[in-house]
Chain A
Amino acid sequence: MTSFAEAQHFVGDPEWTWYILFYFFVAGLAGGAYFLATLLRHWGTPADEPMARLGIYVAFPATLICPILLTLDLTKPLRFWHMVVNTTPDGFGLNFKIWSPMSVGVWALVLVSLFTVVSFLDALARDGKLRGLPAAVVAVGGTKAWNVVGAVLWLFIASYTGVLLAVSNQPIWSDTWALGGLFLASGLSGAAALLLLLSRYRRGAESSHPVLEIGERLFTVLELMLLAVFVLTLIADGTLDDAFGFPWILLWLVALAGTLPGLRGLAAGRLSVTGGGAVTATRVSAWALAPSLVLIGVLALRAVVIFSAQG
């Protein structure tokens, strides 16, 4: 693209709206949750296991919700399987285009569903909620190798959604390469917040709060760095006004408000913790307020990116 000259865009709008917004939102949170669960389980302490299982439980519904949202977004939903099977006469076979993020993403979603469902069954069995499960599932679903591959796939899912937008000719989306990273950082931050929010309902999960709180602060910093890159790339292509003009600026403010809990924690306590795993940083008195603000910010970020480019 022309550097420091306004990029020319004459493209039409694909009308990717609410289904896609919520797909991006759910995929980002699930991706972050499975990733954090894997690290807590295999690189944390035994006391992190309840939070690790909570992460798996959070990721599991996404394997159902994401395909449903994507299918509903198609104007021919019953042809959802054309994503993986080419029905061209004389060209029948599997579809896979490595240069098409939508094609790669669909296959990644199929694979990650397999990994997540097995991990979910394993977590249920270990929680004593499921009896008679084949021993192989329990043996595999919680292993380091299985979880790491699942986490890598989920990181891809959380990130490729941004690449999918960038690999187009749409204003804003195609004027930056930062969206993949931005959505991933935001997904990680949101997942940490969601797990903190839900840990209230999972006995023993509070032991992992310090890790998630410190993690969220660092993810927030990462998100803001990528946001700066996003802005710089848009300035270079002359589309900053399209992304940040009215009314989008209001959504950006909401998205930025979602980074406040992380920044506040960083300002108050940096990365310090005290004995027993309690964070020295001042906690927000209302337990749900800070995580909710982060989650709303995650949603607002995706909304403003999706909608501002489609005029």
Chain B
Amino acid sequence: MATEITPGEAYGFFTDTSVCIGCKACEVACKEWNQLPEKEDELGFLGQSLDNTGELNGSTWRHVQFIDNVPDQTMSEGNGKAFLLMSDVCKHCKHASCLEVCPTGAIIRTEFDTVFIQEDVCNGCRDCIAACPYDVIDMDEERDVARKCTLCYDRLQGGMEPACAKACPTDSIQFGPLDELRNRAKKREATLHAQGLKEANLYGHDDKVYGGLNAFFLLMDKPEAYKLPNVANAVLPSRNNIGGYLGGVVTAVLGLLATVIALRERRRGGGESSESPEDARA
């Protein structure tokens, strides 16, 4: 059923990793719609592996992680584990680290409550890359600006759902209004728990992680296993502003004190002129 897309409402992705089969249709659809080129040498090393794009970067905005979770010991029948699969993407955080530090105003929140980089405003300072805790943003090697998933901003404006969600054959990637997605996610989590899969957990569906993620996940292991910082480590760059500046101020005061002491010690040693500083400058 097609979702009606209305500006002013918050939209996002619910990615259910428990049904991801690693087909990478999302990656292909994303690359195709957004005309993203192959990154230089991208397929050179990883081309023959399951994970042949390797990471999210300036030209790979959807990336299916293949996380080796094969246990050393054989488990009981029907209870085996193999890869953890997860189609990773920009989280479009409510409190976005990238948006917080961007000095040019290139990173904005759109009318669909998504986080968007304006390519014609970005000057390539790369502060957003140092800030993004998910390693989502990267420089586009051809355009020389920072790029990432736009949540198919152009498709949303045209009333279409994002390409990756459209292409996903298992509904691992679901697109829709955030409230609806959150309800769906909670039901799915409850179902998995009822089936005995107690490890199933939602990540970013509430405000504990960066005020809530517009692209949130149902995970089958701890967040760290998917390279997602846990709640305690999901912190904004601005947390260090006050401490950093305070450290600078205290050091400046001590530096001033040190110089005053040096001036006083020199005076003690004698040799001070009676001429005023102004006289000497003239």
Contact = CB atoms under 8 A, between A and B. Distances in A.
Interface stretch (A194-202, A215-223, A240-248, A251-259): A215-223
Nearest to A180: B248
B259 A211 contact: yes
Interface string B235-249: 101111101111110
B254 interface: yes
A219 B258 contact: yes
A207 B232 CA distance: 55
Interface string A30-50: 000001100111111111110
B220 interface: no
Interface string B258-275: 111111011111111101
A106 B282 CA distance: 34
Interface stretch (A58-66, A157-165, A287-295, A296-304): A157-165
Contacts of B153: none
B241 A215 contact: no
Given A12-B135, A43-B260, A44-B277, A181 B248 contact: yes
Given A169-B131, A215-B259, A273-B269, A102 B248 contact: no
Given A99-B241, A167-B241, A12 B129 contact: yes
Given A10-B227, A43-B263, A82-B121, A167 B240 contact: yes
Interface of A: 1-2, 5, 7-16, 35-36, 39-49, 73-77, 79-80, 82-83, 86-88, 91, 95, 97, 99-103, 106, 126, 142, 155-156, 159-160, 162-163, 165-170, 173-174, 177-182, 184-185, 188, 207, 210-212, 214-215, 218-219, 222, 226, 229, 271-279
Given A44-B277, A46-B276, A99-B241, 4 more contacts: A41-B281, A75-B144, A163-B245, A168-B240
21 contacts: A2-B232, A10-B134, A11-B134, A14-B129, A16-B130, A35-B259, A43-B260, A45-B277, A76-B124, A79-B122, A86-B121, A87-B105, A88-B105, A97-B103, A159-B247, A162-B247, A168-B240, A180-B251, A210-B265, A226-B251, A273-B268
